[in-house]
Structures are given as C-alpha cells and as structure tokens.
Amino acid sequence: MNTRAKGILFMILTGFAMVGCSTTSERIILQSQSVRTDIFREADGLTAPAPGDGDLVVKVSIKTHSGEHPLWWIKDGHGSPGYDIVFNVDGQAVIWEVDPRDDVVPKTGKLSEDPEAGSGVKYVVEKRLRLKKGEKSIFLGLPEETCCTHLRIGVEEGTRNVLEFKPVYRKSGTRHIRNFMYGIDRMEVFFNGNQIQ
C-alpha cells in the first residue's frame, strides 16, 4: 500500500473514531438533562421503603491518572476535583461531582498484574436511591472518558438492590495489557452481585 493510500485510510479511520466519540458525547449531554423529577430520591438507609418502593444502591469506582498524563500535551480533567458522573433513571438525571483520592497499588511487573496497578487517583460514588418498584431504564455516563452504558433492571417492592459499575480499562498498543493509564474502554455492570453487562 502506498503512502497516499495509507494516509487516506488513516483519515477515514480517524473520522469514524471521532464520529463515535461525538455520538457518545452527545448522548451523555442528552442524558444529563432531566425530563422528570419524580422517579427517585436519595435515601439515608435508616428508614424502610414505603409500600410500592424499593432501594437501589449505586456504586461506581474508577481509577485515572492524577493529571500528569504520560503524553504531556494532553490536558484533561483527570486528577481534578469535580469529576462528573452522569446517572439517569427513566428520564430523571443527576450529575455527581466526585473529588479524587490518591490510590497507589504496587506494581508486580507481571503481564497479568492488576489493571489498577500504579499511582493514580480514584473517583468513588456510593449512593442509595429510593424509587417505585418496576422495570427501570438506567444510564451511566462518564463525560471525561467519553464512555457510557445503558441497561434495564427490575426493582421489587421493599428490596435493597445493588447496582455496581466496574471499569474495563483499555489495552496498551504494544504490550496488550489493560491499565487505568490508557483510559476506560467500557463498564461492566453487576446487579445484586450478578454480572448483567
């Protein structure tokens, strides 16, 4: 393949990647806006749900670099206070602004080491929401990562449910190992301990 053909192929692939990111960003912006306000409220966990209600504990934990990106020209919101996590249930949205906390996991040097090995920061959310029983449409978006996920769950009356989002980090281009320094590829979702996505 000649140089011109390689250049054209590169531009096409870059265009597809930019369209994908743009579409995801637009979706996150759309889902960050509430069209309803009567779907859920934050609960303290001290009082039992009213008849017809159930609790949903939402857990999100992701690790990023601390703001010192290995590619020095990249400036982003990682490591900064106020990292946004967009959460939407049936049209009611909330944006959780999360502050970082230092996180250091020793490196082992093995290819199979923990994808969170190294020095960085963690953004952690744990919120208890009270909502009406029934099937719910859930959206979680990470604007800084251009990453989002959408799913449906069922909440039963009087129950305490746990919905946990865990990151799957991208692989390096050369060593093909996953690490938080490369960003987030997608989220795995667990509902009451069972992986559903």
Which token pair is 98? Answer: 């999360």
List pLDDT tens digits, range 67-108.
766 666 666 788 889 999 999 999 999 999 999 999 999 998
3-state secondary structure of 77: coil
- 87, 166, 70, 119 alpha-carbon torsion, rounded to 10°: 120
- Please state, as a whole number, how many other Cβ atoms lie within 10 Å of the Cβ of residue 6: 10
Handedness of CA 42, 48, 54, 56 (dihedral sign): positive
User: What's the whole-model pTM score?
Assistant: 0.83
Identify which has the larger pLDDT, 132 or 46: 132
Query: Which run of H or of E encompasses 155?
Result: strand 147-155
